[in-house]
A and B are shown apart, each in its own frame.
Chain A
């Protein structure tokens, strides 16, 4: 009789521990996912700020200046909204005079991962290079 009771109690205890560890494991998986996402978001944000800073610097340095930066993620520049966007992140630029031709155009354009050449002609010209 007592042995059987001890068995049931033991099973309950093991069950509780099992569910507890299941819960912990789920939290672990969720946090791991969050870390991966945050890491990617931070890297995309880093690329975004890198572009934003390079654009501003080239604008200030004036015609004839040029710089090359390397980005790891796709970025889209929206000149009219003064915004640079990637899949999970965004940042802003304080100027609208940015295009991929170097001349007046407010159409959004994409930048693929790799080298990006930023130079100054009439407007700030940003294109993969």
Chain B
């Protein structure tokens, strides 16, 4: 065998072994990078879903806050509609809006009494808060409860909004509280 043939054989061997190793390296690389890619991709999908859920929770919470403010605003600033809604025997069917004051932030005892006499389902229906649970209170200024209706939020409640409004009952300050939860 001359010098050139030996070099040629060696070259071929080298080429073959080199190609095989390249192939193995290629597959190891591809497999590894695919696994990394899939893991990162799944991570982003999970993150995406988490943020979407958070976004929807925030939207719902903002709506609950707005509703709680609207409902208590109507309570303490209007006499309700019709003006004498508390007089009917079947009041809940005829109420257009539920207000408990005679004028701006001055409680009407008869309206307060009638409102707390409404059963829970009727009250939620009248306030159009059927999607949520509520706990409504009327308190003295020292926070002792005068009247209450509804249910206190449980440990499993996921969203909770609490609003307190000050009103006058004659010369006495009172506090109307509403907790909206689900």
Residues of A bordering B, CB below 8 Å: 2-3, 6, 9-10, 13, 16-17, 20, 24, 27, 31, 34, 38, 42, 45, 49, 52-53, 56-57, 59-60, 82-83, 91-97, 123
Partner of A60 from the list B63, B78, B129 (CB cut-off 8 Å) is B78
On whether the beta carbons of B23 and A6 are closer than 8 Å, the reply is yes
How many angstroms between the C-alpha atoms of A95 and B80 in the bound complex?
Answer: 9
Main secondary structure of the interface of B (DSSP, over half): helix
Answer whether residue B19 sits at the interface, using C-beta atoms and an 8 A cutoff: yes
How many angstroms between the C-alpha atoms of A13 and B74 in the bound complex?
Answer: 67
The count of chain B contact residues (Cβ–Cβ below 8 Å) is: 35
How many angstroms between the C-alpha atoms of A94 and B16 in the bound complex?
Answer: 81
Contacts of B41 in A (CB 8 A): 24
On whether the beta carbons of A60 and B52 are closer than 8 Å, the reply is no
- Tell me the chain B residues, 48-67 only, with Cβ under 8 Å from chain A: 48, 52, 55, 59, 62-63, 66-67
How many angstroms between the C-alpha atoms of A42 and B19 in the bound complex?
Answer: 57
Contacts of B166 in A (CB 8 A): none
Given contact pairs A20-B34, A56-B70, A82-B128, A31 touches B48 in the complex (Cβ within 8 A)? yes
Answer whether residue B127 sits at the interface, using C-beta atoms and an 8 A cutoff: yes
Given contact pairs A2-B19, A94-B97, A97-B96, A52 touches B48 in the complex (Cβ within 8 A)? no
On whether the beta carbons of A92 and B67 are closer than 8 Å, the reply is yes
Answer whether residue B81 sits at the interface, using C-beta atoms and an 8 A cutoff: yes
> Which residue of chain A lies nearest to B130 when distances are taken between CB atoms in the complex?
A92
- Write 8 A-B pairs (CB below 8 A) sorted by A numbering: A9-B23, A13-B26, A17-B30, A52-B70, A56-B73, A92-B129, A94-B71, A95-B81
